[in-house]
Structure formats: structure tokens, C-alpha cells
Amino acid sequence: MREQIFSLLIDHIQLTVLAVGLAVIIGLPVGILISRYIKISKPVLAVANVIQAIPSMALLGFAIPILGIGVVPSVIAVALYALLPIIKNTYTGMSTINRDTLEAAKGIGMTTQEILFRVQLPMALPVIMAGIRISAVNTVGLMTMAAYVGAGGLGYLVYAGIRTVNTVQTLAGAIPACLLALFIDYFFGLIEKLVTPVGLVLKDSGEPTKIFRERKRRVITFAVICAIILSLFGAELFSKSQKADIVVASKDYTEQIILNNMVADVIEGNTDLKVKRKMALGGSEICFKALQTGDIDMIAEYSGTLYSLILKHDPISDKQIVYDTMKKELKEQYNIACLNQMNYNNTFTLAVKPETAEKYNLKTLSDLKDASGNLTLGAEIEFFDRQDGLVGLKQTYGLSFANELTVVSSNRYTALENGDCDVIDAYSTDGLLKKFNLVCLEDDKNFFVPYFATPIIRQEVLDKYPQIVPYVNALGASLSEDTMMELNYEVDEQQLSPEKVARDYVIDNGLVPSTMPRINN
Amino acid sequence: MIEFENVNKSYGSQKVIEDLSLSIKDGELAVLIGSSGCGKTTILKMINRLESPTSGTILINDKDTGALDATELRRQMGYVIQQTGLFIHMTVEENIGIILKLKGTPKDEIKKKTTDMLEMVGLDPKIYRKRYPAQLSGGQTQRIGVARAFATDPKIILMDEPFSALDPITRAQLRKELKTLHAKTGKTIVFVTHDIDEAIQIADRICIINGGKIEQFDTPENILARPASEYVSKFIGENRIWEYPEYLTVKHIMIPDSFPIIVPDMDKLLVFDENTKLVDIVSKIDESGRNIFAVSKNGEVIGSFTRMALIKAFIEHMGKGEE
């Protein structure tokens, strides 16, 4: 975990530097411009203010369709937020320079450009640097957003921790971010003091020798810190320069992270290819877009999702037709290949407590028809509205529940435990099913759309590295709903890391050589 | 030579300078003076094109300043303002040498020049070279301002109330030093002030400006002794000439229309032209042993004065200052 934190920290710093750098390159000239042409200062500052007021996630959301995912949209979005303090402070710094000084400069024969670079900017620099410092500190905090679109950074740990309710992980992301912000504040404050012309410092305080000595000390401190930072970057850059052969991604929930780590593991363990992992990237659409643009090469997705969401077909329940259509159309329309479907189906199901199953003799969904009149259903809001959810389910099985409640996500299990409801919707491999020892009702009429995990990969990458196919297929064949549920359970309940769970599985099941190193939690 | 030909300057509908023509000779120290808002600073700034005339021409050595490149023009002049306008983020040395540096003068030449300039204004280069303006007193900053103006060895130096913000003692000192400097270097200096005493003390010629027009442009002596208009005499103050006894003439102490004079030894009566300076005749009066003297104008006697009148007049007028 420590290496991960360090690597993410370096990512975070790099992203912050890019964003602040971009904001300075744009903001500084704009600030200088509006200080010279006062008429446009009001509208420009108004625009910058408006940008700041937009919620950060919304701005990022706007950016993605245009700029894609990854470093580019996050840097640009955050840079927009960094603009305001820089523009404002540059404007202020430039406007509050003594008019007489500027007139004297003009009068003795300095050109506009000479005045700008030799008089105005040096004198305004302390105020400008203060603005940059504020921007930088803000940016460190906002840059946690970057992880949401796969750009890396400490946000990755924060989001992961929130998602799996792992406070330690959240803190592992939040605390370094906080410390980084404090350090940036100090470091830029140091720069701010160093770029303040000595003449200005003397004006306000006094003792020259003390001031010069302090200045010297600050210069040395600055140089030392720079040297340290550069060497850290050098080390990280070197390790990163080992370029990856295949980029494997996952969506941002537990099963996906485990599954795709396993895929990456079997590739790395059995071939000498280097795999880069971009886990917890986002939702299905973000991941598919990344596949199209080549930001990622491979992901284990679900057949139902690809069939209905991506390829936009009406949902059907025939497993083979779904797979064949999907394979054909992905190849034809997107030049993406499908490997074999894996041996488990993570589809919708209805679950009840064992006592309820016993009382009403429930094994299949058909059994539910008569009993439903006595039962309360608690389900996610998504489930209620979908044709391939409750709507079609009720039609197919003739269900009619006594009561229907919308419940949020993992609260469903709690509600079931408390007796607030009797039946809940679930994904068939949810770890929590195991925890509460629930009974899943069999879909005997084959209503639900199949969601078989299927690795999809860019055709050109597959052509380059066909050797991965047997290993990935072997992985798929070894899995089952129970196995997957068990693995999910280990992460969600037992708080093991998905990487560890994945690695242990592939080693213990002989899918990789036993010499592959295990992972600590 | 600096020439203004029918220069007009208006800000919108407000006329600030009206049909002004004036000619400043090479090497003279011309002082522009007037009350606030009279346009004296505007006139000064039109010489280095910080202001441009609405109409009319300004010529420097017969070249129209409007046709020259403004920056080049300014680099060939020195410019000193009241608040000095020193760059507080630069050292004294850097301030003095800034234009030389921008022109690309080699480093050692700049160093030599700054040393010379510091010595010229009476500051020890070793001590002051690396100081910052914040470490200097008011008088020292103004000296640096002057040093900077002289550094490029310009033929013309413009000074806009440079000593007005200083205490009287420093002011007096700097005035003296400027006059010496002017005598030594022979540069043309155009100096703006609102202090008439300052003008009288340093000027070769004083230009009194009122409402954008020239009232009188003449030597201090002529302005004091022969004010061209009522405005000028009011501006100077009737009693001011008594602070500059070297300019007093016989006219100032004479009793007009006090003739015929009946004195013993009429043929030995001394007659002085009204414009004779008192300083020139003091010893003559003393040696003559006489008591009454006659004053003439264009050959005709117009009045007389006595030895006592001389003394009385001094007692009456001295120390009355401005009125």
C-alpha cells in the first residue's frame, strides 16, 4: 500500500503542476491585459468568477465528452478553477503600482515592453506569487477529482475507500493530499518571499543585514527542496518509463476490480508482457470510450451490458444469441474482439431470508407468484423502472407484491435483516448474499438478461499478443457464481484488498505459476 | 534650442495651453513657474512628448518632435520628477544605469558612468552603489534622480518640481548644487517650480505662466525690476525685490516728482539713470559725501533720493516678504 500511496502522490503532484502551470500560462497574460485595458477587466473577472462558482464535478462532466478521460480533462478542468486567483492577483498587483514610478519609467525612455518586464512585473511579483500559491493549494484539493476519470492521483484511494467503506483507505488518500497541500503552501510561500525584490522588503521593515542573511537562508532551503523533488520525480519517471504492453481496466466496483486484476495477473504471470492496470476507472460508458480511444486495451465487461447499453439492443435472455451478436457487432463496428464468456452470470436476482424461503417453500421465481401477496419488496430505484427489471419480471411471473419500497444499494440487506422488507433485488454474486446467508430464487423462466463476464480487447492488441488467450479463457472457465460471491465477500466483508484476493485466487487455483509473488493486504 | 510655435493644448473642451510660443536657448536654465493648474507641467511634458500638443509644433534643434520616435527622444533627455520615480526594486547603481543598460552599453562602461554620476551628486560610490532607494533619505533619492538624468549625457534635462517635497535646508543645498552643476556641464535645463524664490535663485530666465499663456519670459533681474504686467508684479509680490538687493535700482528708492531740487553745488549734483543698480553706486554715494541725488529717465530728471531715503526704504521693506 505504501508504494501505491507514493506512486499516487507523485501522480498527484504531476497533475497539480500541470494544472497550475496551465493556469499561470493563461492567467498571467490575461491579468496583465486587463490591468492595461481597464474596460475589459470587469467582464473578464466576471467570467472567471462564474467558472469558479460552477461545481467542480459538473465542470469535469462537461469536459469528458469533448476531451475524453484521463489526464487531459482533469488538468484542464482543474486549471480553470486555478485561474481566478491568478488573474485577480495579477490584475491587483499590476494596478497598484505607483503611477509616478510608471511615469518616470516612460519619461526616461523605457518602452512599454521594457516597463512591463523590468518595472511592473518585478514590483507586482509578490502579489502575483501569492495568487499562484492560493491557486496551487486549491488545486491540490480539487485534483482528487482526477481519479474519477482515470487520471490517477490520491483521489483514487479516497474514492476506493468510500466505495468499500474502508476508512483506512480513504484516509490513506486524504491525509497525504492534506499534507501535500500544506507543503505546497509552505513551498510557494518560500518562492513568494524569494521573488519579492529586496528593495521592497527594505521599504517595509529595515535592517539590511538581517534581511540579506534571511534571504540567503531561504535560497538555500529552496534549492535543497527543489533538488529533493527533482530526484523523486526522476526515480518515478524512470520506473514509469518501462512502458506497458497491455492496459487492463476495470469499472469502479468491487467485483470488477477483483475480476480484472485476475485477468491482469494471469497475463503477467504466464507471459512476459507488462500489464498496466487502470482500475476503478468509472462506469460502463467511460470504460468503453476509453477502449475506443485506446486509452485502455482490455476489460472484462458483462454481455448484457454490452448488448443492451453499448450496442443498444432490446434486452433478451438467450445467452448464446447475446454472445454471438455481441461478438460480431463489436468486431464490425468497433474492431473490438471478445474472448470466451466466463463461467458465471452476474445477473439480477431476487433474494429472501432462509426462514422466508422455508415458510413459503420458495426455490424459484415461479414459486413466488402465490406468496408475493404477503410479501414486501425492497429494491433499488433502477430496478423498478427497467423493462428488464421489475416491470417485465412482474409480467413474466405474475407477481403482485403487498408493498414495494425503494431502498438504496447496500441498505437493502439491512432492511431485509430488520424485517422492513421480505424480498430484495440483488446481483447474483453480491458478497453480502453470503454474509446474510440469503436464498436466491432461480430464474426458471429465464427472464433476466444474461450478464456473463466477457473479456473484450482491442483487436490490434489481440493480434499483437495472441498468447494471452488461453490463460484468460482458463481463468474464465474456473469461475462460478459461488466463487465470485466468495471473492466479493472477502473484499466487502473481510476488508481484504481486491488485489490480494485476486492474486491469491489465481495462485491457489494454478492459473499462474506458484512462483508469482503474493500481495500483502 | 527648444522652440514652441503656436502650441495649443486642450483636454476635451477645456483649453489648457493657448497659442503659446516660446524659445529656450541652448545651455540656459529656464524655469517655468506659475500657480497650480497654469499649465507649466504640461508645457514641460510636451518637450519629451509625455503630452502631445493639440495643435502647433515643438522643435528641438529645428527638428519637429512630433515626427521623431518618442522613446528615442526621451532617451536623449534627462527627466526628474518630484517623487523621483526611482525604481525601488533596483539598487542605486541599477537605477542610474538603467537606460544605458537598455541601450546595450557594455558593463564596465556603465559601472564607470555610475561611479562618476554618484561622485557628481556628492555621494560616495562605495557606500551608495549597492543601496536601495528605501535606505536613502529624501535628499539622497533626489540626488540619485539627478544622477540618473545626467547618466546618458543628454543635452536637455527636464525637471518637474524635483525639490518641492524636501525640507528647506536640503532644498537650498540642492539648488546650489544644481546651479553649480549647470555651470559646469552647460546643459539646457528646463525646470518647473511653483516657488518664486527657487526660480530667482537658479534661473537664467524665468517664464511666468498664467492660464496657459506666457506673462513674461525674462531674466530674474528684469522680472523683479521691470514686471511686464500687473499679474507678474502681483505674482512676485511687490516687496520681493527687497530680498534681492542686488537687483534694486535707483527707481525703487526715489521720491518721484521731487524737483526742482535746490541744493548747494548744483553743478556737482549726481544724476543717475533710473535703472542704475544700487549695488553699483553704493561706494560712489559714500565717497561723494553728498546727501541728495537726482534720478533721470531718458535724460530727463524725474525724481530724487536722499541718503536717508536709502536707509528708510530698506528698513521699511525688509522682512515684509510676500504681500
In this structure, are strands B29-33 and B55-60 parallel, antiparallel, or unpaired?
unpaired
B323 found inside a domain: no
Query: Looking at beta carbons, which residues of chain A come within 8 Å of B78?
Result: 108
Is a pLDDT exceeding 90 seen at residue A381? no
Does the CB of A113 have a partner CB in chain B at under 8 Å? no
Under CATH, which number does the domain A348-440 receive? Answer: 3.40.190.120
Q: Is the pTM of this model over 0.95?
A: no
- State the Cα–Cα distance between residues A335 and A328, nearest whole angstrom: 10
Residue B71: inside a domain: yes
Give the phi and the psi of residue A341 in degrees, each rounded to 5: -65, 145
Q: Are residues B82 and B11 in the same domain?
A: yes
| Same-domain pairing of B234 and B250 | no
Residue of B41, B53, B255 lying closest to B158 (CA atoms): B41
CB contact under 8 A, A208 and B135: yes
**Is pLDDT of B307 > 90?**
no
**Does pLDDT of B311 surpass 80?**
no
Backbone φ and ψ for B78, nearest 5 degrees, come out as: -95, 150
- ∠ CA A195-A197-A202, nearest 5°, is 130
**Nearest by Cα to A9 from A251, A178, A249:** A178
Percent of chain A at pLDDT above 70?
A: 95
| Per-residue pLDDT reduced to its tens digit, B182-197 | 999 999 999 999 999 9
- Distance in angstroms (rounded) separating the CA atoms of residues A109 and B290: 63
Helix (H) and strand (E) counts in chain B:
13, 14
Instruction: Say yes or no for a CB contact (<8 Å) between B50 and A107.
Output: yes
B218 contacts B207 by C-beta, under 8 angstroms: no
Residue A340 · residue A476 · CB < 8 Å: yes
- A246-344+453-508 fold: D-Maltodextrin-Binding Protein; domain 2 (3.40.190)
CA neighbours closer than 13 Å in the CB half-sphere of residue A480: 2
pLDDT in tens, A216-264: 888 888 888 888 888 877 776 666 666 778 899 998 778 999 999 999 9
B50 and B178 share a domain? yes
| Cα–Cα distance for residue pair B81/B158, rounded to 1 Å | 8
Left, alpha or beta for A449 (phi > 0: left; psi -120 to 50: alpha)?
A: beta
Average pLDDT of every residue of chain A: 85
- Residue A315: is its pLDDT beyond 80? no
Q: What is the pLDDT of residues B240-251, one digit of tens each?
A: 888 887 888 888
Instruction: Give the gyration radius of chain A's Cα atoms.
Output: 29
**What pLDDT, on the 0 to 100 scale, is given for residue B322?**
46
As assigned by CATH, the class of the A2-196 domain is mainly alpha
- In one letter, which amino acid is B81? I
Same domain membership, residue B250 and residue B192: no
pLDDT tens digits for A456-465? 999 999 998 9
Å from B200 to nearest chain A CA? 27
Q: Are A512 and A506 in contact (CB under 8 A)?
A: yes
A479, three cell numbers: 469461475
Residues of B in contact with A110 (CB under 8 A): 71, 98-99, 102
Q: What is the pLDDT of residues A440-459, one digit of tens each?
A: 888 888 888 888 999 999 99
C-alpha cell at B142: 533626489
Measure in Å the smallest separation between the Cα of A83 and chain B Cα atoms: 27
- Give the gap in angstroms from C-alpha B129 to the nearest C-alpha of chain A: 13
Q: Tell me the shortest Cα–Cα distance from A183 to chain B, in angstroms.
A: 29
Structure confidence at residue A3 (pLDDT): 66
Pick A107's closest partner by Cβ from B74, B86, B89.
B74
Q: Tell whether B301 and B157 lie within a shared domain.
A: no
β-strand pairing of B205-210 with B255-256: unpaired
* Residue at a domain's end among B210, B238, B266: B238
**Structure confidence at residue A504 as a pLDDT band (50, 70, 90):** very high
- Across the range A158-168, mean pLDDT stands at 75
The C-alpha cell 512599454 sits at: A112
- Distance CA(A372)–CA(A349), nearest Å, equals 15
User: How would DSSP label each residue in A419-471?
Assistant: TS-SEEEEETT-HHHHHTT-EEPB-TT--SPP-BEEEEEEHHHHHH-GGGHHH
Helix (H, G, I), strand (E, B), or coil: what is residue A352?
Answer: strand
| CB contact set of B211 (below 8 Å; sequence gap of 6+) | B18, B38, B39
Of the candidates A108, A197, A202, the beta carbon closest to that of B135 is on: A202
CB pairs under 8 A between A and B: 84
Grid coordinates of A312: 443498444
CATH topology agreement for domains A246-344+453-508 and A348-440: yes
Q: Cβ contact (<8 Å) for A107 and B87?
A: no
Query: Is B88 within 8 Å of A123 when comparing Cβ atoms?
Result: yes
Same domain membership, residue B289 and residue B157: no
Q: Are residues B264 and B183 in the same domain?
A: no
Q: Which three cell numbers, joined as nine digits, stand for A219?
A: 535560497
Q: Cβ separation of A107 and B79 shorter than 8 Å?
A: yes
Q: Among partner residues B71, B76, B89, which is closest to A123 by beta-carbon distance?
A: B89
Structural domain boundaries in chain A: 2-196, 246-344+453-508, 348-440
Q: Could you tell me if the ipTM is greater than 0.85? A: no
Query: Comparing A138-152, A179-193, B33-47, which segment has the lowest mean pLDDT?
Result: A138-152
Element (H, E) at B209: strand B205-210
- Position with higher pLDDT, A188 vs A145: A188
Higher pLDDT, residue B308 or B180: B180
Position B318 scores a pLDDT of 64
Shortest alpha-carbon distance between residue A182 and chain B (Å): 30
Residue A188 cell numbers, joined: 510557494
> Of the candidates A472, A476, A496, which has an alpha carbon nearest to the alpha carbon of residue A486?
A496
pLDDT of residue A204: 65
* Residue A317 pLDDT > 90: no
Q: What is the per-residue pLDDT across A251-261, written as a single tens digit (0 to 9) for each?
A: 877 899 999 99
CB of A61 less than 8 A from some CB of B: no
Domain stops at, among B238, B264, B286: B238
Q: How close A103 comes to chain B (CA, Å)?
A: 8
Last residue of a domain, one of B238, B272, B290: B238
Number of domains in chain B: 2
pLDDT category, A203, cuts 50, 70, 90?
A: low
Model confidence over A36-54: pLDDT tens digits?
888 898 999 899 889 888 8
Eight-class DSSP state of B229: S
Question: Bridge-partner residues for B17, per DSSP?
Answer: B9
Interface of A with B in 189-208 (CB under 8 A): 197-200, 202-203, 208
Give the closest residue to A382 by CA, choosing from A435, A298, A309, A487: A309
The answer to whether the beta carbons of residues A23 and A138 sit under 8 Å apart is: no
Q: Residue B321 above 60 pLDDT?
A: no
Residue B323 has pLDDT above 50, yes or no: no
- Checking phi first, is residue A70 left (phi over 0); if not, alpha (psi -120 to 50) or beta? left
* Residue range B78-108, pLDDT digits in tens: 999 987 789 989 999 999 999 999 999 999 9
Residue B261 confidence class, pLDDT cut points 50, 70, 90: low
Distance, in Å, from the CA atom of A10 to the CA atom of A176, rounded to the nearest integer, reads 11
C-alpha dihedral, B65 to B68 to B70 to B71, nearest 10° = -130
Average confidence (pLDDT) over B301-310: 80
Would you say B197 and B36 are in contact if contact means Cβ atoms under 8 Å apart? no
Residue A116's φ and ψ, nearest 5 degrees, are -60, -50
Q: What is the pLDDT of residue A2?
A: 66
Say if residue B92 is in the same domain as residue B166: yes
H-type alpha helices, A108-207: 112-115, 121-142, 155-163, 167-195, 198-204
Yes or no: say if B46 and B212 are a contact pair by the CB < 8 Å rule.
Answer: no
Q: Which amino acid is at A283?
A: G
| Residue B320 banded pLDDT, cuts 50, 70, 90 | low
Query: Taking Cα atoms as reference points, which of A82, A28, A254, A32 lies closest to residue A161?
Result: A254
Single out the residue of B71, B70, B69, B47 nearest to residue B60, CA to CA.
B47
Give the CATH number for residue B306: 3.10.580.10
Contact residues for A399 (Cβ-Cβ < 8 A; gap 6+): A368, A369, A372, A393
Question: What per-residue confidence (pLDDT) applies to A146?
Answer: 81
Q: Residue A329 in contact with residue A306, Cβ under 8 Å? A: no
Same domain? For B27 and B141 the reply is yes
Tell me if B90 and A199 make a contact (CB, 8 A cut-off): yes
Domain with B197 in it: 2-238
User: Hey, what amino acid is at B248?
Assistant: L
B139 and B185, same domain (yes or no): yes
